[in-house]
């Protein structure tokens, strides 16, 4: 997938995104934010913040920054911020999370919810997430990975050539991702319907 395919896909998804992917992916968002156990004053970066569905889940004393490449998704996130009067959401910026403008060691926690199988280069994304996360800070990832059931895995492989059109890679391998990024998973749990998605936490050892 290239970045233009991502932008095109999410331009199409933006108007109906909350309806189609709001409730169905809500459990994973809630689990991730709850697991963060943020303290007052913590700074959180959400890469691929989308329409901002997770933003109301943070406490009002947590400073949240969101970035996304899709202006149409961000427009909705900004609307949601206004609607819920989320003053702790300090910035929603159009930015490629694979190459961010933030200085190194800026955030206590960095989250990617349903993003890593969407970006063109997940390894580069993780490298950037680590760079902007403080040493000893935490990185949270929620995503669907290739299913261990051979039948479901085969179906996912069959539809993977449609990635550019559907806007994500359905057969994204967790094992390959971990071996390429060198991330060390600390906590891992299945989330959403039938545990089809996974949430995990890593500590940013630099």
Ligand X SMILES: C[S@@+](CC[C@H](N)C(=O)[O-])C[C@H]1O[C@@H](n2cnc3c(N)ncnc32)[C@H](O)[C@@H]1O
**Site membership for ligand X, residue 115 (CB under 6 A):** yes
- Write down the least CB distance from residue 84 to ligand X, Å: 16
- Write down the least CB distance from residue 48 to ligand X, Å: 3
Tokens of 134: 């403080």
Are 61 and 82 contacting, i.e. CB atoms less than 8 angstroms apart?
no
**Site membership for ligand X, residue 47 (CB under 6 A):** yes
Among positions 66-95, residues that touch ligand X (CB under 6 A) are 67-70, 73
Angle between helices 174-181 and 122-132 (to 10 degrees): 50
**Site membership for ligand X, residue 50 (CB under 6 A):** yes
**Site membership for ligand X, residue 116 (CB under 6 A):** no
DSSP output for the chain: --HHHHHHHHHHHGGGHHHHHTGGGHHHHHHHHHHH-PPTT-EEEEET-TT-TTGGGS-TTSEEEEEES-HHHHHHHHHHHHHTT-TTEEEEEE--TTS--SPTT-EEEEEEES-TTTSS-HHHHHHHHHHHEEEEEEEEEEEE---SSHHHHHHHHHHGGGHHHHTS-TT--HHHHHHHH---EEEEEEESGGG-EEEEEEE---
The one segment of 49-57, 81-89, 102-110, 127-135 that binds ligand X by CB under 6 A? 49-57
Cβ closer to ligand X: 4 or 136? 4
Cβ closer to ligand X: 4 or 179? 4
Cβ closer to ligand X: 96 or 156? 96
How far is 58 from 192, CA to CA, in rounded Å?
19
Among 21, 56, 173, 189, binds ligand X (CB under 6 A): 21
- Write down the least CB distance from residue 111 to ligand X, Å: 8
**Site membership for ligand X, residue 98 (CB under 6 A):** yes
- Write down the least CB distance from residue 67 to ligand X, Å: 6
- Write down the least CB distance from residue 155 to ligand X, Å: 20
- Write down the least CB distance from residue 191 to ligand X, Å: 11
What does the binding site for ligand X look like in residue numbers (CB under 6 A)? 6, 10, 21, 25, 29, 47-50, 53-54, 67-70, 73, 96-98, 113-115, 118-119
């Amino acid at each position: 997938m290239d970045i233009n395919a991502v932008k095109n896909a999410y331009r199409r998804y933006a108007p109906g995104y909350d309806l189609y992917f709001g409730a169905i992916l809500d459990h994973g968002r809630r689990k991730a934010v709850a697991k963060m156990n943020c303290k007052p004053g913590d700074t959180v970066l959400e890469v691929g913040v989308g329409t901002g569905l997770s933003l109301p889940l943070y406490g009002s004393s947590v400073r949240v920054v969101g970035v996304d490449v899709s202006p149409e998704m961000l427009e909705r996130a900004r609307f949601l911020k206004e609607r819920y009067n989320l003053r702790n959401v300090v910035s929603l910026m159009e930015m490629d999370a694979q190459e961010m403008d933030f200085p190194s060691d800026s955030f206590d926690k960095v989250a990617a919810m349903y993003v890593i199988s969407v970006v063109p280069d997940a390894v580069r994304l993780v490298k950037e997430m680590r760079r902007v996360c403080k040493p000893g800070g935490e990185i949270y990832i929620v995503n669907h990975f290739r299913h261990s059931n051979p039948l479901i895995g085969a179906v996912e492989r069959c539809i993977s050539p449609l990635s550019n059109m559907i806007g994500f890679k359905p057969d994204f391998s967790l094992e390959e991702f971990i071996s390429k990024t060198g991330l060390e998973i600390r906590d891992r749990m299945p989330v959403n319907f039938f545990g089809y998605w996974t949430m995990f936490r890593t500590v940013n050892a630099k």
